[in-house]
Amino acid sequence: MDPQAPTTTTATTTALSERDAVAALALMAAQADGLRSEERARLGEVFEALGGVDSARLFKDVLLGDVGMDEAVAALTSPGMRAYAFEMAVGACDADGHTSGAERAFLDQLERALGLEHAEAVAMLEQAEALADAPLALVPIGKSADDTGTAGALLPGPLGAPATPEAGSVADARPDLDRLILNRAIMAGALELLPQSLATMAIVPVQLKTVADVGKAHGFALDQGSVRELLAIAGVGLTGQVLEGYARKLFGGALRGIAGRAAGALGTTATGAVTTFATTYAIGKVADAYYGGGRTLEAVRIKELFARELERGRTLFARYQGDVQQQAATTDLGELTRQLQGQGAGRSGFQ
């Protein structure tokens, strides 16, 4: 849909629910500069998992112009829901990188339609842009990683006593590298527990940086393309993680708090913490095996290893749940954003 097109709509058979309205706005945002097949498929999966959203009908209505921005906005009855709808639209635009001109035009139009305070919308967008751009600073495209930092550096935010890798693992031989993987998993899980929906966008930079640091520990200077290629082989969808995280936070926790409704099938943010912890842990372990073996691991073995370590990560979460909760309690998203960009001076930030 052209973001500058009139937003009047034809009559629809039923009024939009708030879930439909937020989902419709996310879909409009995702297609603002051309909806890619990955985004279309992932949005459909997310909406189906939410429950209460007829994604097939919604896709048709939005894509054919039967549901427009004005109608979706009118279905959002509280300032809180309107702010969350804008956040999810921002996330849909920034999930695959910095917003384009067409996406920015759409968000400007949506801001006006929602009646948001301009300063609030700008702050939200700027933070999302900073997080979307963070991987460029952490793992440059087409440039080698620098030689600063150490493989065992912890992520920002005090954890109390550093988490101890599980007994009997290769951590006995390489405690720093295994501690890095574990602490990055703890940080990623903690981001799912933060109240801000935008915290979800910080997960991808954490995961990309984890792969880059593990590779560097094995003597490989990686660019962002190499990191993303390995994750794609493993089956990790970075855009999908962002979109699902937004939906889970909104409909699993935020909607219940704002509008008093039950959580959708995606579950609560606690469920998201388990999934994100396990995914990040598995990513780190795959990178360790791949680069530790001289990049000789075949694609099928990468997928098998990721699936196995993902399940192991889910099991390990129970042991480290307290660390995840403590990390969430001590993490400031604004400070983390600055450190992800290499601007912070935290005691254990990204270097």
Does 49 have pLDDT greater than 70? no
Longest dimension (CA), the chain: 66
CA 202 to chain centre: 6
Alpha helices in the chain (DSSP H): 18-30, 37-50, 55-63, 69-74, 79-94, 101-114, 118-138, 175-193, 203-217, 224-234, 238-249, 255-259, 269-292, 299-330, 333-340
Same domain, 212 and 245: yes
What's the CA gap between 231 and 241, in Å, rounded? 12
The DSSP result for 167-195, as a single string, is: TTSGGGT-HHHHHHHHHHHHHHHHHHHSS
Tell me which of 116, 148, 172 is where a domain ends.
Answer: 116
**How many folded domains does the chain comprise?**
2
Residue 37 domain-assigned (yes or no): yes
What's the CA gap between 54 and 38, in Å, rounded? 19
Query: Do you know the residue count of the chain?
Result: 351
Least confident piece of the model among 83-87, 106-110, 127-131: 127-131
- pLDDT for the residue 170: 40
What's the CA gap between 291 and 45, in Å, rounded? 32
Average pLDDT of the chain is 75
Query: Which residue in 188, 204, 195, 182 sits closest to 320, CA to CA?
Result: 182
Does 2 have pLDDT greater than 50? no
Least confident piece of the model among 221-235, 264-278, 294-308, 320-334: 264-278
Residue 125 domain-assigned (yes or no): no
Least confident piece of the model among 27-31, 239-243, 326-330: 239-243
Residue 152 domain-assigned (yes or no): yes
Q: Higher confidence at residue 269 or residue 33? A: 33
Same domain, 192 and 330: yes
Confidence band of 94 (pLDDT split at 50, 70, 90): confident
Confidence band of 76 (pLDDT split at 50, 70, 90): very high
- pLDDT for the residue 195: 77
Highest mean pLDDT out of 122-126, 154-158, 208-212, 278-282: 278-282
Q: What is the pTM of this model?
A: 0.71
**What separation, in Å, do the N-terminal and C-terminal C-alpha atoms of the chain show?**
41
Q: Higher confidence at residue 246 or residue 327? A: 327
Range of the domain at 327: 140-340
Same domain, 222 and 292: yes
Look at phi and psi of residue 52 and say left if phi exceeds 0, alpha if psi is from -120 to 50, else beta: left
Confidence band of 45 (pLDDT split at 50, 70, 90): low
Same domain, 112 and 144: no
CA dihedral of residues 174, 327, 257, 124 (deg, nearest 10)? -90
What's the CA gap between 18 and 57, in Å, rounded? 15
Instruction: Give the percent of the chain with pLDDT over 90.
Output: 30
Please write the tens of the pLDDT for every residue from 171-202: 343 558 899 999 999 999 999 888 777 788 88
- Between the alpha carbon of residue 151 and those of residues 174, 257, 297, 333, the distances in Å are 10, 40, 22, 23
- pLDDT for the residue 224: 79
Least confident piece of the model among 110-124, 126-140, 171-185: 126-140
Confidence band of 140 (pLDDT split at 50, 70, 90): low
Same domain, 305 and 165: yes
Q: Higher confidence at residue 228 or residue 54? A: 228
Residue 349 domain-assigned (yes or no): no
Same domain, 217 and 273: yes
- pLDDT for the residue 126: 83
What's the CA gap between 204 and 198, in Å, rounded? 12
Does 269 have pLDDT greater than 70? no
Residue 94 domain-assigned (yes or no): yes
Phi, psi for 313 (deg, rounded to 5) = -65, -40
Same domain, 73 and 181: no
CATH of the domain at 94: 1.10.3680
Confidence band of 10 (pLDDT split at 50, 70, 90): very low
Q: Higher confidence at residue 6 or residue 38? A: 38
Does 98 have pLDDT greater than 80? no
